[in-house]
Amino acid sequence: MRRKEFVFLECERHGMYRSYKDPKTFKYKTTGTKKLGCPFRLKGRPRKVERRWWLKVMNDIHNHEPARSLISHSYVGRLSEEEKGHVETVARSWVATRPMLVSLKENNPGNLTTITQVYSCCKRFRKFVRGPLTEMQHLMKKLVEDKYVHFERQQDDSYVIRDVFWTHPVAVKLFNTFPHLVIMDCTYKIKKYQIPLLEIVDITSNDMTFSIALCYMIHECTNDYIWVLECMKSLIADPARLPKVIVTDKDLALLSVVHKIFPSSSHLLCRFHINKTVEAKFKLHVGTNDFDDLVMDK
């Protein structure tokens, strides 16, 4: 027996938000919600003979006051099909999200879209481009299609990739042309999976910087840094032209392996990190803000 078709119409504040634990940190995320358990509910059924809808009021009570304004409301901020196409076109050029929102409001002064809705549109577009592939599979596919030089390591007794090292062929040529100075540093807490992204940078003869390579590492351990430096060393065509100076922050695991892989290179600590540490710590000893400029100048 075929089940009858029906649809429920509910208030946007219907139901209650269910918090969940982050699978990476195993902690509950602190977030806001507009759900208040509003009981308002309608039930509709189609009548094919009359080609109309039969609507039944299940509950006609709201437990909240009506909205005084629709500004910043998700309904009025919905993107039209033309605006969605504009966002997708601009997203293909790797434009940041905020300039997208600015361009939408310039084209339509009455646009009430928020930055969150633009983020959601970009997220849906990237998911559409990725298709059935996971994010890691899509990354490996693009590295092969665009002919990047890449290395990867798998976890023991599995096909799970734990570390990925990649670089552009043009960056390899520049690195072999200017192999004298290498700067290395990791970024933190700016990515979805909260894993370190190691960026290796070089400087040309006219003081222009360029990225030698990028590497996702699951941990910042000695063995991980050994593997990364070995990958970087394999990019150098002439073994006699190894980097003369390597600049890092005071990462003890990285410091312990730099001289093992590049014994002839001199190691320097990054002055930017030193200044940041001094700026954060000296107030504990000075006690006032009167000597801020004097201490930083010294």
Domains of the chain in sequence order: 1-66 (no CATH), 70-131 (no CATH), 147-276 (3.30.420)
Residue that is written with structure tokens 């000695």 in the block: 222
Q: How confident is the model at residue 26 (pLDDT cuts 50, 70, 90)?
A: low
> pLDDT at position 76, please?
82
Inter-CA distances, 62 with 14, 15, 93, 142, Å: 9, 12, 45, 50
Given a cut of 60, is residue 190 above it in pLDDT?
no
Tell me the average pLDDT across 191-205: 82
The DSSP-derived string for 238-291 is -TT---SEEEE-S-HHHHHHHHHH-TTSEEEE-HHHHHHHHHHHTHHHH-SSTT
Residue 254 has pLDDT above 90, yes or no: no
Both tokens of 93, joined, read 């050029």
Residue 31 has pLDDT above 80, yes or no: no
Write out pLDDT tens, residues 49-90.
778 888 889 888 898 888 787 777 778 888 889 989 999 988
What pLDDT shows up at residue 195? 80
Among the listed residues 158, 246, 233, 162, the one whose alpha carbon sits nearest the alpha carbon of residue 202: 246
Q: How far apart are CA 249 and CA 95, in angstroms?
A: 31
The CB-side HSE value for 32 (13 A sphere, CA atoms) comes to 1
Among 209-213, 274-278, 287-291, the range scoring the smallest mean pLDDT is: 287-291
Q: Are 174 and 202 in contact (CB under 8 A)?
A: yes
Q: What angle do CA 227, 197, 90 make, to 5 degrees?
A: 135
- Counting every residue, how long is the chain? 298
Predicted confidence at residue 167, as pLDDT, reads 93
204 has a pLDDT exceeding 70: yes
List CB contacts of 295: < 8 A, sequence separation 6 or more: 278, 282, 286
pTM over cut 0.75: no
